């Protein structure tokens, strides 16, 4: 199935692209991806290095504006940790502690609060926000989505069946995509549920669960217990607008495109990615902090159990063209590096930006919203756009 029809055309185009990039004398530092097939027939793309540009000579992230009302002014960001953005430049922030949704205009100015805390019409308890023409404020606890216009008017309320405290997504068809879990005594099963904007359930796919990371075993007051070793890898899952997702675990630089959550359509990877060493003092400090928190780990937890390097990547995002931006580790805490891959999984090159490595990052089309703090430790949201005028 993978090697016929439109998929075969895509594979041929990918091979042609590789040939164009490396026809004649290859540029210094550039590498040709190795393209093959997995045992199930899925396409495999193995990258040994960038194929389009080296260092920071390619695409850029260009700063556009900052959303940061002054202290004491309406709409001050306070504890904004999540947000949604519209194609028109509107930005909705989520303040979980104060249970508030705030709307900002394309110029970054605060416009109004959207809804309020509660359980009545237009109210919410655990809000998540996303735009699809209007603003959808989704509450998994109340199992509904309240739909608002940008002038704050409540248009309608849509019943949902999902219950996980995860953000709301929209696919290219305008379907709501929500995460729901079912529980038994021994197992948790999670799925992504696709619903129409009127609440009709259409389909679902398997969602990733928690990664079973390495742990220390000890006997507590309630019997055998486990304690996760510091600096564990995590499972990462990014939904695709055309359906399915790209998934992976951060200690293995290999990502899989899946349609159902269990199959493999394409796998792309990077060989020998740059690794960042965890300072010895940081490892020891983390060990001692865990032992203080759980004294029964004394004599069980050992420094040699703690990883010597951070996982090579920490997240993946999509731009408007379907390129994958893999959030990679860097030596500098005040910089973020993205490894950019084509939709077919070919590594183009790296994009480095003056974004703190620990900042919250969200892509909205060809723009990137970053939540961090300024020099005075005050929260802000900075907007960057992708500039492809490089290689």
pLDDT in tens, 60-85: 999 999 999 888 888 888 766 667 77
Question: How far is 228 from 104, CA to CA, in rounded Å?
Answer: 40
Place of tokens 């109004």: 112
DSSP string across 125-141: SS-EEEEESEEEEEETT
pLDDT in tens, 298-328: 999 999 999 999 999 999 999 999 999 999 9
Q: Report the pLDDT value the prediction gives residue 80, as an integer from 0 to 100.
A: 63
In this structure, what token pair is assigned to residue 258? Answer: 């899946």
**Is residue 130's pLDDT more than 50?**
yes
- Any domain includes 303: no
In this structure, what token pair is assigned to residue 196? Answer: 């129409």
Give mean pLDDT, residues 336-342. Answer: 97
User: C-alpha angle 173/176/200, rounded to 5°?
Assistant: 95
- Any domain includes 14: yes
- Any domain includes 304: no
Please name the residues in contact with 48: beta carbons below 8 A apart, sequence gap of 6 or more: 31, 32, 33, 34, 270, 271, 272
Residue 13 φ/ψ, nearest 5 degrees:
-60, -40
**Is residue 1's pLDDT more than 60?**
no
Give mean pLDDT, residues 165-171. Answer: 94
- Any domain includes 101: yes
In this structure, what token pair is assigned to residue 107? Answer: 């110029």
Report the relative pairing of strands 367-373 and 379-387 from DSSP bridges. antiparallel
Q: Report the pLDDT value the prediction gives residue 82, as an integer from 0 to 100.
A: 67
Give mean pLDDT, residues 19-38. Answer: 70
Q: What's the sign of the alpha-carbon dihedral 165, 171, 173, 174? A: positive
Domain ranges, residue 251: 5-275+310-387
Give mean pLDDT, residues 76-97. Answer: 80
CA distances from 34 to 37, 40, 237, 255, 268 (A): 10, 17, 24, 15, 10
Place of tokens 């993946």: 316
- Any domain includes 144: yes
Domain harbouring 185, CATH code: 2.120.10.30
- Which pLDDT band holds residue 88 (cuts at 50, 70, 90)? confident
Q: What average pLDDT is seen over the chain?
A: 89
**124 or 390, higher pLDDT:** 124
Place of tokens 């655990």: 126
- Any domain includes 143: yes
Please name the residues in contact with 107: beta carbons below 8 A apart, sequence gap of 6 or more: 65
- Any domain includes 289: no
Please name the residues in contact with 386: beta carbons below 8 A apart, sequence gap of 6 or more: 59, 60, 61, 62, 319, 366, 367, 368
Q: Report the pLDDT value the prediction gives residue 28, as an integer from 0 to 100.
A: 65
b/e 285-307 (16+ beta carbons within 10 angstroms → b): ebbeebbeeeeebeeebeeeebb
- Which pLDDT band holds residue 3 (cuts at 50, 70, 90)? very low
Q: Report the pLDDT value the prediction gives residue 19, as an integer from 0 to 100.
A: 40
In this structure, what token pair is assigned to residue 138? Answer: 């989704």
Total domains present in the chain:
1
CA distances from 250 to 78, 316, 327 (A): 31, 10, 10
- Any domain includes 287: no
User: Taking a C-beta distance cutoff of 8 angstroms, is the pair 311, 233 a contact?
Assistant: yes
Q: Report the pLDDT value the prediction gives residue 18, as an integer from 0 to 100.
A: 42
Give mean pLDDT, residues 112-133. Answer: 95
């Amino acid at each position: 199935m993978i090697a016929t029809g439109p998929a075969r055309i895509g594979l041929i185009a990918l091979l042609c692209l590789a040939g164009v990039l490396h026809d004649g004398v290859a540029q210094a530092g550039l590498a040709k991806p190795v393209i093959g097939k997995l045992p199930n027939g899925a396409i495999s793309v193995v990258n040994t290095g960038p194929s389009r540009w080296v260092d920071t000579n390619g695409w850029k992230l260009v700063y556009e504006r900052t959303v940061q009302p002054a202290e004491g002014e309406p709409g001050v960001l306070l504890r904004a940790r999540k947000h949604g953005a519209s194609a028109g430049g509107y930005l909705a922030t989520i303040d979980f502690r104060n249970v508030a949704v705030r709307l900002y205009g394309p110029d970054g100015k605060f416009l109004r609060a959207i809804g309020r805390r509660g359980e009545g019409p237009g109210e919410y308890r655990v809000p998540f926000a996303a735009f699809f023409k209007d603003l959808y404020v989704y509450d998994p606890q109340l199992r509904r989505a309240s739909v608002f216009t940008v002038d704050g008017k409540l248009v309608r309320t849509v019943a949902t069946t999902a219950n996980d405290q995860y953000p709301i997504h929209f696919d290219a068809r305008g379907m709501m995509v929500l995460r729901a879990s079912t529980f038994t005594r021994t197992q948790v099963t999670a799925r992504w549920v696709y619903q129409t904007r009127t609440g009709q359930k259409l389909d679902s796919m398997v969602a990733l669960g928690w990664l079973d990371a390495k742990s220390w075993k000890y006997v507590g007051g309630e019997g055998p217990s486990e304690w996760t070793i510091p600096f564990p890898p995590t499972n990462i899952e990014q939904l695709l607008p055309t359906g399915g997702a790209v998934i992976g675990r951060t200690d293995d630089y290999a990502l899989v495109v899946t349609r159902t959550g269990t199959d493999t359509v394409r796998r792309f990877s990077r060989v020998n990615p740059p690794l960042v060493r965890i300072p010895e003092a940081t490892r020891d400090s983390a060990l001692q902090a865990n032992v203080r928190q759980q004294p029964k780990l004394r004599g069980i937890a050992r420094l040699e159990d703690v990883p010597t390097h951070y996982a090579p990547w920490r997240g993946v995002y999509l731009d408007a063209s379907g390129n994958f931006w893999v959030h990679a580790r860097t030596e500098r805490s005040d910089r973020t590096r993205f490894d950019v891959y084509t939709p077919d999984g070919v590594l183009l090159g790296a994009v480095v930006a003056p974004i703190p490595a620990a900042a919250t990052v969200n892509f909205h089309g060809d723009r990137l919203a970053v939540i961090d703090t300024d020099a005075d430790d005050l929260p802000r949201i900075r907007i960057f756009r992708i500039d492809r005028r490089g290689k």
